[in-house]
Amino acid sequence: MTRGDRIVVAVVAVLAIAAWPLASMATGGDAAVAVISGPYATYRVPLDAARRLDVRGLHGTVTVVVGAGSVRVAESDCRDHLCVERGAIAAAGMAIVCAPNGVTVRIGGRADAPDALIR
C-alpha cells in the first residue's frame, strides 16, 4: 500500500465517522414516527401518540389510526380497500399505500430490524 493509498483510506474513514451523526438526524434518530402523505397535506405523528386522522385523498377520505407503537388505515373510500387489509405496521421502513387516493403511510425513524429475510 502506497502513501497515497493510506491517505485516501484515512480521509474516507474520517468522512464516514463525521457523517454518522448526520445520518442519524436524517432518519429521525431513535424516535419512530408515522409519516402520512396525501395529495394535499403531509403529517408526522409519533407512534406513541394515540391519534386518528382523516386524510383527504384524490377520490375520498382515508382514515389513519396511530397509537400503541403502530399505524394502520382503518377506513378508505377506495374501491379495493387493499390499504385497509394491509393491517397495522410498526417497523421503520414499512409502508401502506392507497394508490387510488394518492395517500402513503410510512414509518420513519431508526430501523433496528433487517430489511428482508431470505429463506
pLDDT digits (tens, 9 = 90+) for 59-73: 999 999 999 899 999
Beta sheet of 70-76, edge-to-edge order: 51-56, 61-67, 70-76
Q: What pTM does this model have?
A: 0.67
What pLDDT, on the 0 to 100 scale, is given for residue 5?
85
